[in-house]
Amino acid sequence: MSEVKVTAKSVARWTHKNFSAAGFSERQARVGALDGKVSKGGGRPSKAKEHLQAVLELKAQGCSNRDIAEDLGIGSASVSRYLKQVSE
């Protein structure tokens, strides 16, 4: 048997042993009820406000995006994104 078939058989065996039709339906209902609800965690805090002013000042001094990124410890793509936000 190929590795894929063995893995599929193992998953099927575990699923058959650990799930009943009623249990599966209950789980799906619980997961479906969460659909579209916003997390209370809020995700990672954005540092855009901290960096935006520094990016603008360094850009006004003639620094390249790569130099700005290196100085602030952020990616050059982030520098580009901050500058794009300001120009829009």
When comparing pLDDT for 16 and 10, which is higher?
A: 10
Phi–psi pair at 67, nearest 5 degrees = -65, -40
pTM attached to this predicted model: 0.49
State the pLDDT at residue 50: 84
Helix axes 65-72, 76-87, angle to 10 degrees: 110
C-alpha distances in Å from residue 12, one per residue of 16, 23, 27: 6, 16, 18
54-73 per-position pLDDT tens digit: 999 999 999 999 999 999 99
72-85 per-position pLDDT tens digit: 999 999 999 989 88
